Copies of this chain bind each other. A is one copy, B any other.
């Protein structure tokens, strides 16, 4: 296992120390908990947004704490949902009296732990609500399963709900906006290589030099199936097919695009993917309002990418364009 680490058991703690050291103008760490909170939290009168989940997805979620996005990020162990305790602590630390909205990615563990924390917080008299992001079209949605996963599309929820909260909107309105983003965003990913959980010390699966894993999540879990590797254009088309199949997009609709690198994939390759994604959208007469290319929701050192498409309306465009100032996501 070749990593810049000291102790596999302490990677999250040490990472958070390094993050706080790097960005003291944005974030602080709650004493005794792996929670990054906005430096100036609680913002009195503003609804606070809390997200988080397992670590290993950096810059998600700590990198999105700041003006116009999150008020706190709860950082679990690598790929493991945080327990209710730090979530509760985060809720208490950022509640400015107007309530707290939790943004949770749809994984059994995340949902259960955030729900438990919400239950306790409500018993303590804090107004807490939550939304569950499930943008990953790789996984069949069904009430008989755990449902779709939340992946990179979550960052759009952070950005847009965060901008909404900044306008002084109430928790109900912000939740409605967040739910609108969730119902309008679809993502799909794939990987060229696995990743190594530091405490495990070896990869969860292996791929041949000629293979790729389609429908890859962001936890090193296998995807929906394996295929022979193909060209960037074919791959982009494959991901887009699955996304467009699941979205009701019509000629003239406007979208935001996110090409997300899982970590090891160079920006060069993400731009090559983006090129084809744009072509496909243009062929479908979809207007591209804004594009984000980079690493937004990673999976340790995995090579791979995901594409997210968010259908926009006037409200979402306005909120997407609103100023955001966080360590990892800035809109001027």
Question: A residues bordering B, Cβ < 8 Å?
Answer: 2-6, 11, 14-19, 21-23, 55-56, 58-59, 63, 192-193, 209, 212, 229, 231-233, 235, 257, 259, 263-275, 278, 288, 291-295, 298, 300-301, 303, 305, 323, 325, 328, 330, 332
From the candidates B5, B56, B265, B274, name the one contacting A18 in the complex (CB within 8 A): B274
> Known: A325-B332, A332-B332. Is A21-B298 also a contact (CB below 8 A)?
no
**A330 surroundings in chain B (CB, below 8 A):** 330, 332
Complex: A286 Cα to B303 Cα, angstroms: 37
- Whether A14 contacts B332 by the Cβ 8 Å rule is no
- Whether A271 contacts B19 by the Cβ 8 Å rule is yes
14 contacts between A and B (CB under 8 A): A2-B212, A3-B192, A4-B232, A4-B269, A4-B273, A4-B305, A5-B231, A6-B233, A11-B272, A18-B271, A19-B274, A22-B293, A55-B268, A295-B295
Complex: A301 Cα to B270 Cα, angstroms: 12
- Whether B301 contacts A303 by the Cβ 8 Å rule is yes
Complex: A59 Cα to B264 Cα, angstroms: 14
**A232 surroundings in chain B (CB, below 8 A):** 3-6, 14
**A18 surroundings in chain B (CB, below 8 A):** 270-275, 278, 293
Copies of this chain present:
2
**A270 surroundings in chain B (CB, below 8 A):** 4, 18
**A15 surroundings in chain B (CB, below 8 A):** 268, 271-272, 275
The 7 closest A-B pairs by CB, nearest first: A18-B271, A18-B275, A264-B264, A58-B267, A4-B269, A22-B291, A330-B330
- Whether B23 contacts A56 by the Cβ 8 Å rule is no
- Whether A298 contacts B267 by the Cβ 8 Å rule is yes
From the candidates B3, B16, B63, name the one contacting A269 in the complex (CB within 8 A): B3
> Known: A21-B278, A22-B293. Is A6-B272 also a contact (CB below 8 A)?
yes
**A16 surroundings in chain B (CB, below 8 A):** 271
Complex: A303 Cα to B303 Cα, angstroms: 11
Complex: A266 Cα to B78 Cα, angstroms: 13
> Known: A275-B18, A291-B22, A305-B4. Is A268-B11 also a contact (CB below 8 A)?
yes
Question: Residue among A63, A232, A257 with the most chain B CB within 10 A?
Answer: A232
